[in-house]
Structure 1
Amino acid sequence: MLAGIVADAVLGDPRRGHPVALFGRAAAALERRVYGDARPTGVGYVALCVGPVALLGVAVTGVGNRVGNPLLRGAVSAVATWAVLGGTTLGREGVAMAEFLEADDLAGARGRLSHLCGRDPSPLGSAELARATVESIAENTSDAVVAPLFWGAVAGVPGLLAYRAVNTLDAMVGHRNARYERFGWAAARLDDVANFVPARITGLLTVLCAPLAGGSVRQAAGVLRRDGHRHPSPNAGRCEAAFAGALDVTLGGTNVYGDRVEHRPEMGDGPKPSVGDIRRSVRLARAVGLAAAGLAVLAASRRARGRSRCLPRW
């Protein structure tokens, strides 16, 4: 797992042939074949997508255990960890947005925003682009870093792969619109369950790391406790509220997604994010990711030692 974390830090995501992108294309092809405007159809779709991925993780782990080669088992865990992590790419996208806005290149920033979230960038000015970036970094610190590490520590390679499949499906079909309100229900709810604990870990780690971004632990904790439950998402609000408190900004407001408009409660006590807050949010996200990596490696090593003590000695 540690080797996979280092690989993500050094390499990031490849431009072509990323395993998650390949899964996404396969899931999109399956959707075209089985789509139906009903919850049971969506449940079956999720099972057909996530089940084989989880079974692949179980099979690969089983082969590694039967072979008995620790280097092979380690290599499998490292590749799986690298494939599901997105922290380095998240940070790079945040820095890219900061550079566009620092250069007053609104066209470039609007074109880049789709790498972080699905909001309509066309009407957004510099301040709203900064807010969208900070909110996306906060939420994706959980989705792309803390959550996969959590499930890797809890369930090994099957946990890593299954979580990334669930989260990818949520990004694809877990939308509240005419097409996916019922078909995407299962993907959205399963993602909520998978992220329930990781989002709260992200909130707590953000509070503890607040001084590294020039913030206050006390203030971040206060905003998290007061505002974390106000977001329409049961998980994203914990991350965004903690970031709002740690950065001393106010997040939330009106977001436009194509023809859909969402009015989200405001979280935090400071001003709206400015361009300068983007780099601070990236620094905070990296600190949270590093702390989560340390905890995950420690938990995984303890789990492995416990498993080895339970094995029969011949």
Structure 2
Amino acid sequence: MTVLLIAIAFVLDLILGDPYHWPHPIKVIGNYISFFKKNMLTNKLSTKQKYLMGGVLWISTVFLASGVTWLLLKVAYSFNIYLGHLVFIYLSYTTLATKSLAKEGKKIADTLKNGTIEDARKQVAMIVGRDTSQLTEEEIAKATIETIAENTSDGVIAPMLCLFIGGPVLAMAYKAINTLDSMVGYLTPEYREIGYVSAKMDDLWNLIPARISFLLLGLSSILLNMNPKETFVVGWRDRKNHKSPNGGYLEAPASGALGIQLGGSHVYHGVEIYKPTIGESLKEVDRFDILKMNLLLYCSASIGMVLFSVISYIIKGF
């Protein structure tokens, strides 16, 4: 039954995405992190205290997210099994971000076609942490592709894997970890100590999902006939050309499949962060490459769903 419930949640994600006006657990997690930052993290803290409070932030966020999820499921199933299944499906659905990620990418591609460069800069600023005020059209397209590639794991494959292993409780714990990294896991003076635990734990939790996603992107390039040889050659060669131990495993096969170069230094929160280049610059990156990356995303998510379902069925049964 678990496989069926996760499959329904996946289909809902493909159909509905994340409507902005709907209640969403990730918004609640983000609000808690913001509350903690505002009320618990002050400039009076010593360096050691900042590391300590960063750890407290991580532990409290992850345990609250998973604990509340467990409680909701417990209460729902105590009333009625069908209500329990509905809550299971809804919570699972909220941990997946396939359509919403692709939708954001398409909006940027459409803005590059029909809008101004300023509109596109504002649009891409909503999904990346870097300074976008001076980006060119090609740099906007690259930033979008990099985000979609990395979130193929962070936003889809990793939470999907967690759903099959530990249901919504583990998947929500993962989303809390990922949200913490996106909000405080920066190597800037403001977040270096406070976000240290969040950044390191996010790296650890994504080690396996990123490498699974590498294979799924490779399989997708074969099915979509997107330079499968280069996907694996460039993917393996440049997989470590990234500041993150996991980011290269997503960006490298994507760059190979699209025949483009990604990476390079960027400005995050006013600080320039060096990033090595990934892939070969065989062509100028444009909005069509964003749409191709969306195809790789959808294909990888679908293959992952089928693969995890089959493995789960073999191990646990339906």
On whether the aligned pair clears a TM of 0.5, the verdict is yes
- Structure 2 SS opposite 1:43: helix
1:109 aligns with one of 120, 139, 142: 120
- Structure 2 SS opposite 1:264: coil
Q: Deviations over 1:71-118 (max 9, x none)?
A: 334322211111111111110111111111123521211110122211
Contact 2:121 2:132 in 1 (8 A): yes
Q: How does 1:174-185 map to 2 (within 5 A)?
A: 174-185=185-196
Q: Measure how far apart 1:58 and its partner are.
A: 3.1
Q: Are residue 12 (structure 1) and residue 23 (structure 2) matched?
A: no
Q: Measure how far apart 1:279 and its partner are.
A: 0.9
Q: Measure how far apart 1:24 and its partner are.
A: 0.7
2:301 aligns with one of 250, 274, 289: 289
Aligned to 1:208: 219
2:164 aligns with one of 126, 130, 153: 153
Q: CA RMSD in A?
A: 1.9
Q: Distance in 1 between matches of 2:128 and 2:313?
A: 34
Aligned to 1:92: 103
1:27 aligns with one of 27, 33, 37: 33
Between 1:171-180 and 1:36-45, the stretch displaced more is 36-45
Q: Distance in 2 between matches of 1:299 and 1:79?
A: 23
Q: Distance in 2 between matches of 1:96 and 1:80?
A: 26
Contact 2:105 2:148 in 1 (8 A): yes
Which segments of 5 or more consecutive residues in structure 2 lack a partner in the other structure? 1-5
Give identity over the alignment, percent: 30
- Structure 2 SS opposite 1:9: helix
Between 1:37-46 and 1:154-163, the stretch displaced more is 37-46
Q: Deviations over 1:126-184 (max 9, x none)?
A: 11111111111101111110110011111112111100111011111111111110111
Q: Measure how far apart 1:60 and its partner are.
A: 3.9
Which segments of 5 or more consecutive residues in structure 1 lack a partner in the other structure? 307-314
- Structure 1 SS opposite 2:266: strand
Q: How does 1:43-122 map to 2 (within 5 A)?
A: 43-63=55-75, 69=81, 71-103=82-114, 105-122=116-133
Q: Measure how far apart 1:298 and its partner are.
A: 3.3
Q: Distance in 1 between matches of 2:89 and 2:118?
A: 38
Q: Distance in 2 between matches of 1:244 and 1:12?
A: 26
Q: Are residue 173 (structure 1) and residue 184 (structure 2) matched?
A: yes
Cα 1:177–1:141 shift into 2, 3 Å? same
Between 1:233-242 and 1:284-293, the stretch displaced more is 284-293
Q: Deviations over 1:46-80 (max 9, x none)?
A: 111111222223334445666672x3343222111
Aligned to 1:311: none
Contact 2:77 2:83 in 1 (8 A): no
Q: Distance in 2 between matches of 1:41 and 1:291?
A: 40
Aligned to 1:131: 142
Contact 1:95 1:279 in 2 (8 A): yes
Q: Distance in 2 between matches of 1:166 and 1:123?
A: 31
Q: How does 1:220-259 map to 2 (within 5 A)?
A: 220-259=231-270
Q: Are residue 2 (structure 1) and residue 7 (structure 2) matched?
A: yes
Q: State the AA in 1 paired with 2:83.
A: L
The alignment of Structure 1 onto Structure 2 pairs a total of residues equal to: 305
Contact 2:92 2:167 in 1 (8 A): no
Q: Distance in 1 between matches of 2:142 and 2:117?
A: 14
Q: State the AA in 1 paired with 2:188.
A: N
Cα 1:55–1:190 shift into 2, 3 Å? same
Q: Deviations over 1:20-39 (max 9, x none)?
A: 11221122112222214521
- Structure 2 SS opposite 1:261: strand
- Structure 2 SS opposite 1:119: coil
1:271 aligns with one of 283, 291, 313: 283
Q: Measure how far apart 1:303 and its partner are.
A: 5.2
Q: State the AA in 2 paired with 1:47.
A: I
